A and B are shown apart, each in its own frame.
Chain A
Amino acid sequence: MINIEVNKRTIEAKEGETILTALKRAGIIVPTLCHMEDFAPTGACRICVVEVEGRPGLIPSCAYPVEPGMKIQTHSPKVVRARKTIIELLLADHPDDCLYCVRNGNCELQTLAEEHGVRERRYSGGRIFKNVDTSSMSIVRDPDKCILCGRCVRVCEETQGVSALDFINRGSQAIVGTAFNEGLNVSSCINCGQCIMVCPTGALREQSHLKSVIDALNDPNKTVVVQHAPSVSVTVAEEFGMKPGQDFCGVMTAALRALGFDFVFDTSFSADLTIMEEGSELVHRLTNGGVLPMMTSCSPGWVKFVEQFYPEFLPNVSSCKSPQQMMGAVIKSFFAEKKELDPKNIFSVSLMPCTAKKFEAQRPEMEDIEGFPDVDAVLTTRELARLIKLYHLDINALEPDAADNPFGQRSSAGKLFGASGGVMEAAIRSAHFLVTGKEMTDIKVKEIRGFDGIKETSVKIGDLTLNVAAVSGLGNAHKILQAIKKGEKDLHFIEVMSCPGGCINGGGQPLGTDIEAVKERMMALYKIDRDESLQCSHLNPEITRIYEEYLKKPLGEKSHHLLHTEYEKRDSIK
């Protein structure tokens, strides 16, 4: 530990750390734009500058290490003036769009302008491109609102290993864009939305499906059905100012009814269904010399990643549709028959933590024989919050409510799908039963819990030793696939989630959260699993019922037709 002096106060700092890190620990806030926690600094934006005694000019605190005895001023008039000028220069090239912007009230640039009292347009850059890229089914790019901080470029490259975006051109023509400046739809983008999560402005946002949902809710001829993904109930409360890690399931269900949805279902039910199918598929592969390691297929970003970058591994990917698509398929078949509804008149909405789910729902593989999609519209957690706000529902006045049958009951294993490792844990619990006919004595598989990007363990199922891995963040998927190619891994089953930590950190989740918040969300899911008694997918009575009444058996003919699909090699600019 060394001592440095900040604003005339002595604080402790660790040797080698940046000034910014030391300041943060001492509770001294300096604004940042290009800085990203756990990434090497680029020093691009200079908004984090501080004054250091004896140094000419100002120093970007995110990029400079502390030195013993350093005397720092974080808010001297010179510093504040410099920051304000940086903001004014950014605004020079920025449209005056706040009132119409999806990030209004939740924008780092807007907040900085407000904090620094910017009251007039002092510079005019006139850098206007007016070429919003709406080509992607998941992500909208608006280069006019881009401040070239580079955060999206880095997350796409370093976290996701995709590199769909980079800096293009230079000087006044510089933009962040795709190879050949093409639409995102033909790029290698896998639709994960992690770039939206890090973007400080409205330059990146999701393709909104709100309008079609509102239209359906107001259409008297439509039965509007909604499903909510396992992770949404533990994150949506944050959009209403509540602290992370609260399960809002009951209130959210009540809100959905108040919004006019006719039936509210829980995607965790179809997660249980996925486990029945995928668990059986795994057992089948293990006992019939099938292709191993089997890899999960519930994260659509990951599926596109394999299709583009590793088509040789497509036979490893489970043929199961994702829980969202399975739910969509049984809503328009089993449920429609039960309720004597024409599937044409069902509008099926899903609430997802994810932007890639929008892409998945529109894949041609996800249509029934008549060409109707399993799922008609996908709303992110953020869009759900917008919908609730639009209707001015008072969240605090709603009495918690339960989901509808037949797809309202779930096991806590299904709920675990929301966190990295959860699919694996749920699958192990049920595979154990499928293979041995007995329940596990200790159902918790703690080695694959938590936030690590690659988690591996071995589990004993009867005479079988199953080597498994749970991977999240596609950069880590690169690593494990490369290791498999080199013959360095002997694995039977791999779960891959596109987003670091899994769906709780998905690209459709509330913005402006940090890793601590994401961990709280994870704990909320673990708590549900700890406290509830129905903890295994195969024990869910509604699952037993749908097999008895309709599907007959896992991997059976009906399942094959409704719940399974195939993926193909995909061309993209990569």
Chain B
Amino acid sequence: MAQNEFSSIFENYPNASRDSLIPLLQDIQEAQGYLSREAVIAVGEHLSLPASKIYGVATFYNQFSFEPQGKYHIQVCRGTACHVRGSLATLDAVERELGIKAGSTSRDGLFSLEVVACIGACGLAPVISINGEFYAGATGDKIKDIIDIYRRKAAQNESE
């Protein structure tokens, strides 16, 4: 990835200091979909901070992902309403079904998993979203069926 990709983002943060770290990382994640190594190192250079520090800060927050998103990006809502209605079990089920942890991407590149604070669909709790499509009442026991829909889609695409 060319350094220029970040330059336009860095331009918004002239004389940047450590305080700009999180917003900067957010902007890059927005643009790239994740934080690549190159991005982490470039941010370090821009802010004169070591890569270990950037990585440390970025891994402290759930919102950052260090792998490109999968073909299907799953967001599990962990807002209060969803929590009360069992979103922890939902998250658990997704992690087990895909064999990955939140913030990572399955090895075949099909699914990536993100935990979000509140999707703003509390009426549907517990809710997950896959590529922007919402699934209401997505309790742990429903997860396999939902994910299978996308597995079938992927298989179909491939055979076409």
Residues of chain A touching chain B, judged by Cβ–Cβ distance below 8 Å, are 157, 162-170, 178-181, 187-188, 573-574
Contacts and interface: CB of A to CB of B under 8 A. Distances in A.
Contacts of A573: 37, 41, 51-52
B47 interface: no
B19 to A, nearest CB: 18
A164 B52 contact: yes
Contacts of A574: 41, 44, 50-51
Given A180-B37, A573-B41, A163 B59 contact: no
B55 A170 contact: no
Contacts of B14: none
A162 B53 CA distance: 11
B interface secondary structure, majority: helix
Interface in B36-62: 37, 40-41, 44, 50-56, 59-60
Contact of B56 (A162, A167, A187, A188): A167
Interface of B: 37, 40-41, 44, 50-56, 59-60, 66
A170 B44 CA distance: 20
A168 B59 contact: yes
Contact of A170 (B37, B40, B50, B59): B59
A169 B52 contact: no
B97 to A, nearest CB: 21
Given A179-B40, A180-B37, A573-B41, A169 B59 contact: yes
B55 A168 contact: yes
A180 B40 CA distance: 9
A91 B41 CA distance: 36
A187 B60 contact: no
A178 B52 contact: yes
Nearest to A573: B51
A180 B39 CA distance: 12
A188 B50 CA distance: 9
Contact of A163 (B37, B41, B50): B50
A164 B53 CA distance: 9
A166 B44 CA distance: 14
Nearest to B45: A574
A64 B150 CA distance: 57
A489 to B, nearest CB: 21
Nearest to B62: A170
A572 to B, nearest CB: 9
A179 B54 contact: yes
Contacts of A178: 52
A212 B74 CA distance: 52
A571 to B, nearest CB: 11
B53 A163 contact: yes
B59 A179 contact: no
Contacts of B59: 168-170
Contacts of A163: 50, 52-53
A149 to B, nearest CB: 16
Contact of B53 (A166, A170, A187): A166
A181 B52 CA distance: 9
Contacts of B44: 574
Nearest to A170: B60
Nearest to B57: A166
A574 B54 CA distance: 10
